A and B are shown apart, each in its own frame.
Chain A
Amino acid sequence: MNDKTTWEFGTRQVVYAAIGAALYGGLSLLTNVIPLPAAGNITFRPAVAVLVFFGAAFGPWVGLLAGFFGNTIGDWFAGWGFYWHWSLGNGLMGMVPGLIMASIKDFKARPEIMKAVGWSILGIAVGMLFASVMEKLTGGIDWNTAIVGYFVPAFLGNLVVTVILLPILMIAFAGVAARRGR
């Protein structure tokens, strides 16, 4: 998990972090109009599946930067402004599944897909918990609102899209990667 490939930050990571940020930000902009029943402005984001896929496929730096910049772009252009803890929370959400990048050899093998989904769920939990706890510390809300009003809807919304879309993305990527020979 801590080998050189996992934490490498070269041309490949720079380009895929940028593409991941553009995809996550752009697709989030489209769905920022669909609010979830929550205490704050939590929106339904199918693009989360793309973010965790980029983490799992291209590593933790790609997931972190794609999540951070993608969320920042999406929020800024929609007028929500910049909330560093939500952007960093989204970054962590992409970073955690990136920790298993080096161990995924076959993107269409069921055990590898299950592993990626499992780590992505962990990433969603870590990222959204971080953002919700920071919201409590910076926004002055109580613990109940932070957990029930922010974390639970954000976690569940992201969990559902990840469980459904991540396996499809991985299987599709297996075909593309085989054709490209990389």
Chain B
Amino acid sequence: MLVAWKYRRRNTFIQRLDPRTRFIFMVCITFAFTIPDIWDYRIIAPLFILSLTLYLMARIEWKDVRRALTYIFILVFFIVGLNAVLSGRGGPSSVLNVASPILFRIPLMIPGTDWGWSVPVTVSKVWFAGNQMLRMLSMALLAIPIPYTIDPNIYGTAFKRMGVSDKVSFTMDLAFRFLPTTARDLTITMDAQRARGYEMDKLKGGLVARIQRIAPLIIPVVMQSTVTGEEVIDAMDLRAFGTAPRTWLKDLNYAPRDYFILGLGVAIFIICCVLKWVYGIGDFFVPDFFTNFLIG
């Protein structure tokens, strides 16, 4: 059985937007960050504020989004942030190539030996970690509200009206719909395996042993999904899916507010490209006030 996202109808500006507008706007902001490769806080900070404003305007209840946001915060702050502070990886090479004052060193030693590394934490790495976190949150805050604020019945229509073929539209529609089902199956399987003594949190042994122990979790979920797939195929075949061009029940129309948001998204993308490629603004750098603040 398929389960649905926690979609709820709310009387908000965000939900009154055409779903195509929201998908295209999200793509514009993501492309504005990734195509000209923007790492300048003067561009990242305003875009983060814009994403946060749109997220808050969606008025999603905390209890609905608690798990998703907790996961994102753990990923962004502890995993990515810590990784960026320690290694400076995952961004432009200038983070590591530019000479930057060392704040302190973290000794990473192999237990029981004298071997290890003394990892320097520089001003550049700390600033990069902050930029990286804001950049990721800016994109995640646009993506997370989608399943909670777009009616699952109009995913397919939205993709189709964006020029995608019937079959690929339906693939994307079904992929979004299967996500919560996959999450549900994973939770049930994890509970069932724990009841049999499976300890997910205590994956001991080498790499191979650890991967093998993931199998009791992954295999039942994948097999259950293939069985569910056969039932969905039967249902779609019975309705003669793919025998003729589809008609879509819901119709979508752009309103003036959609043109405003679309214009804003396209303008942000163009401005980021022009700033980077014409004026050379957008590369990573550490502002003096931050260095002075840390070094004194």
Consensus secondary structure, chain A interface: helix
Give the segment of A80-88, A93-101, A113-121 that binds chain B.
Answer: A80-88
Q: Is the CB of B230 within 8 A of A82?
A: no
Given the known inter-chain contacts A22-B178, A165-B215, please indicate yes or no for A79 contacting B137, CB distance below 8 A.
yes
- Given A18-B178, A19-B226, A23-B222: A139 touches B211 (CB 8 Å cut-off): no
* B89:A41 contact, CB within 8 angstroms: yes
Q: How far is the CA of A168 from the CA of B220 in the complex (A)?
A: 11
- Docked Cα-Cα span, A11 to B178, in Å, equals 16
CA distance A54 to B179 in the complex (A): 16
A78 near B230: Cβ-Cβ < 8 Å: no
Chain B residues whose CB sits within 8 angstroms of the CB of A18 once the complex forms: 170-175, 177-178
B83 at the interface (CB under 8 A from A): yes
In the complex, chain A residues whose CB is within 8 Å of the CB of B144: 77
Q: Please state if B30 and A23 are interface contacts (CB–CB under 8 Å).
A: no
* Option from A10, A40, A182 in Cβ contact (under 8 Å) with B89: A40
CA distance A142 to B170 in the complex (A): 40
Closest to B71 in A: A29
Contact in complex: B208, A182 (CB < 8 Å): no
Residues of B within 8 A of A161 (CB): 211
For A182, the chain B residues whose CB sits under 8 A away are 230
- Inter-chain contacts of A12 with B (CB < 8 A): 233
The answer, yes or no, to whether B264 is at the interface (CB within 8 Å) is no
B75 close to A40 (CB less than 8 A): no
1/0 per residue, CB under 8 A from B, across A15-49: the answer is 11111011101110110110100111100001101
Q: Whole-angstrom distance between the alpha carbons of A9 and B237 in the complex? A: 14
A41-B90, A80-B136, A141-B93 known; A26+B227 contact, CB < 8 A:
no
Interface residues on A, range: 35 or more
Is there contact, CB below 8 Å, between B223 and A173?
A: yes
Question: Is A53 interfacial (CB-CB < 8 Å)?
Answer: yes
Complex contact A46–B143 (CB within 8 A): no
Give CA–CA (A173, B224) in the complex, Å: 10
Minimum CB distance partner of A29 in chain B: B71
What are the residues of chain B within 8 A of A148 when measuring CB–CB? Answer: none
Number of interface residues of B (CB under 8 A): 65
- How far, in whole Å, are A103 and B91 apart by their CA atoms in the complex? 43
Q: How far is the CA of A111 from the CA of B197 in the complex (A)?
A: 34
Q: Look across to chain B and name the residue whose beta carbon is closest to the beta carbon of A168.
A: B215
A173 touches B171 (CB 8 A): no
Q: Report A-chain residues with C-beta under 8 Å of the C-beta of B237.
A: 11
Residue A143 at the chain B interface, CB threshold 8 Å: no
In the complex, what residues of B have CB within 8 A of residue A40's CB? Answer: 89-90
In the complex, per-residue mask of B211-242: 1 if CB is within 8 Å of any chain A CB, else 0: 11011001101110111111011001100011
A131 interface residue per 8 A CB criterion = no
Give Cα A18 to B171, complex, Å: 5
CA distance A155 to B169 in the complex (A): 31
The contact string, 1 if C-beta is below 8 Å from chain A, for chain B 57-74, is 000000000001001101
A176 at the interface (CB under 8 A from B): yes
User: Which chain B residues border A56 with CB–CB below 8 Å?
Assistant: none
Cβ of A124 < 8 Å from any Cβ of B? no
Give the complex CA separation of A160 and B230 in angstroms. Answer: 30
Any chain B CB within 8 A of the CB of A172? yes
Q: Does B18 contact A (CB under 8 A)?
A: no
The residues of B that contact A176 with a CB separation of less than 8 Å are 223, 226-227
A27, A38, A145: the one within 8 Å of B218 (CB): A27
A25 vs chain B, min Cβ distance (A): 7
B182 within 8 A of A: yes
Look across to chain B and name the residue whose beta carbon is closest to the beta carbon of A149: B89
Q: Is the CB of B83 within 8 A of A35?
A: yes
Q: How far is the CA of A140 from the CA of B71 in the complex (A)?
A: 31
Is A21's CB under 8 angstroms from B175's CB?
Answer: yes
Is the pair A15, B74 in contact by a Cβ cutoff of 8 Å? Answer: no
Besides the contacts A19-B228, A22-B178, what 10 more A-B pairs have beta carbons closer than 8 Å? A11-B242, A19-B174, A40-B90, A41-B90, A46-B214, A46-B218, A47-B218, A79-B76, A81-B135, A164-B211
Give 3 closest A-B pairs by Cβ, nearest first.
A79-B140, A18-B174, A79-B136
10 inter-chain pairs at a CB distance below 8 angstroms, sorted by A residue, are A14-B236, A22-B176, A38-B89, A40-B90, A41-B89, A50-B222, A73-B175, A79-B136, A81-B33, A141-B93
